[in-house]
Amino acid sequence: MAMQLLKKHEIIFLGIEQVASVCCVSEARVHKWIETKGLKASGKGENINILSSDLVDFLVQYNMPIPQVILPAEAKKILFVFASETLEFIYVTFLIKFFHKLKNDANFICDCVAYGKDAELKLMTFVPDLLVTDTVSACTEAIKLNTYSKEIGGNKILSIIDQGMDQEDIHKIQCSGAEAVVTRRIEINALVEQVNALFQ
């Protein structure tokens, strides 16, 4: 059965054979994902079905490419990258919850990761439409990842800075490819507007 692109907010059930086909893996591999890796499925035997949204979540969790055909039309992918030592900051925790809320309430697929090799791997496999880099405590890492992201192509970059950041550092962040720079003190509605503006 040939699959067509999904309509906005459309979720479909996929059989084992279809999941294997769109993910370019064997049916045995899909069964293994269900049995040992936690891919959500319903039914038994020949009638096992997997929600397309559950498959997307699974692929994101395991850093696997998401086939375009299982993404709802106009779905946008956002990757938030932060310094692991800032995870305890209320603001970073808030942003992670904010991006997960976007995932649940809007047509966004969101993920987050700490700087390092995992961030580069996630950038290559997740292929976000928007990269959000937290530069507080990680300015050098953010500049490096922004530059790398622009080299591999195509996504928009929003960098979050500290309110008192030096103008020279802000300029370096902008030169690394950030289309927008906002402070950590930005209000939630202004952040939503900024994200929407980048997708216009």
So where are the chain's domains?
Answer: 13-69, 76-198
Residue type (1 letter), 98: F
The conformation of residue 67, written as its DSSP 8-state character, comes to -
Topology annotation, domain 13-69? Multidrug-efflux Transporter Regulator; Chain: A; Domain 2 (1.10.1660)
169-179 pLDDT tens trace: 999 999 999 99
Decide the pairing of beta strands 76-82 and 49-51: unpaired
CA-closest candidate to residue 91, choices 187, 157, 167, 180: 187
* Whether the domain at 13-69 and the domain at 76-198 fall into the same CATH topology: no
Say which residues have a Cβ less than 8 Å from residue 96's Cβ, sequence separation at least 6.
80, 112
Q: Any bridge partners for residue 157, and if so which?
A: 131
Q: Hey, what are 145's tokens?
A: 């990842």
pTM value > 0.85? no
Decide the pairing of beta strands 49-51 and 108-114: unpaired
59-113 pLDDT tens trace: 988 989 888 888 876 788 889 998 877 666 767 777 777 777 777 666 788 888 8
Which CATH superfamily, name and number, covers 76-198? Response regulator (3.40.50.2300)
